Amino acid sequence: MSSYAITGASRGLGREFVRQFCQNPFNIVFALVRSPDSATKLKELSQENTNIHIIKADVTNPQSMIDAAAQISAISGDKLDVLIHNAVAYNQASAHLTPSQIPLDEEATHQMFGDALSTSLYGMIWATNAFLPLIENGTSKKIIHLSTALVDQDVTKKVGMAQQVDYVVGKAALNVLVAKYAVELESKGIKMLAIAPGWVDTYDGPLPKPTELEAMNAEILRRFQKADPNFGAGQLTMEDSVRMQLEVIAGLDMEQSGTFVSHHGDQSWSQ
């Protein structure tokens, strides 16, 4: 029996990780969400699969992560095999700003970076540290943090993406911490990894998709295909992205620990 905990599990890639893990009835899956009552689809999934446990947890609140780890410890016997930190947030109102457009205003700048740093930087630390004792007692001893290809400076330059500053800066900080943790925890056999899931279609609203979203996706695709003719014809499905990531996670060893890879398991960012 293997045990898994996933932050940000109420929707998108987080819920898809839960769905794929729970298909093995011998797995025990902990879905960490900030608001369990509003996680309707996740609750439906848990009603169909008794190996899913929904745990209230807010990665931006260290005490909440301590409490979540204690709940999981009581269920799992004080151990956990794999932690996947998927939770993310960023300031959508300022996502269009380029670096030079960030206002020379302390409060506005802190507000712009607040959500991204709270989830990708502070949340990464608090989630990791809260669950370290359980991971150390586990068998697989793996901690995975979702990142983005846009932290690769060459990708940013080739794609010409000067926006989404707070989101990418938060993920870049996460990547550095993954390497730092890997160095510290190597002697304990704990493996760390930052992984980019690819360009994934996580839209969960009514169809057809809004025309603004379709136009934005078309422009993003044009940019990525210009940077890399082999990029692909569109977004990955969540099912395919998670399936590919799980193959990489399964093969994670101490040699690869502390690195940043794509859903292919290397530095190839194409679809």
- Within-domain flag for 131: yes
The CATH number that applies at residue 121 is 3.40.50.720
pLDDT-derived band of residue 271, with 50, 70 and 90 as boundaries?
Answer: confident
Average pLDDT over residues 106-130: 96
pLDDT of residue 178: 98
- Within-domain flag for 217: no
Structural domain containing residue 17: 3-206+236-261
pLDDT of residue 120: 95
pLDDT-derived band of residue 175, with 50, 70 and 90 as boundaries?
Answer: very high
Query: Any idea what the Cα angle at residue 236 is, between residues 250 and 264, rounded to 5°?
Result: 35
Average pLDDT over residues 249-258: 97
CB 82 within 8 A of CB 5: yes
Question: For the chain, how many structural domains are there in total?
Answer: 1
- Within-domain flag for 211: no
Phi, psi of 44 (to 5 degrees): -60, -40
C-alpha 9/C-alpha 85 separation (Å) is 9
- Within-domain flag for 242: yes
**In Å, what is the CA distance from 189 to each residue of 234, 247, 251, 257?**
38, 20, 15, 10
pLDDT-derived band of residue 229, with 50, 70 and 90 as boundaries?
Answer: confident
- Within-domain flag for 213: no
Which residue type, as a one-letter code, is found at position 107? E
Largest Cα–Cα separation, the chain = 54
- Within-domain flag for 266: no
Average pLDDT over residues 185-193: 98
C-alpha 26/C-alpha 151 separation (Å) is 36
pTM of the model as a whole:
0.95
Average pLDDT over residues 139-163: 94
For residue 227, is pLDDT > 90?
Answer: no
Which residue type, as a one-letter code, is found at position 115? D
- Within-domain flag for 223: no
Element holding 201 (H helix, E strand)? strand 200-201
Q: Three-state DSSP class for 234?
A: coil
- Within-domain flag for 216: no
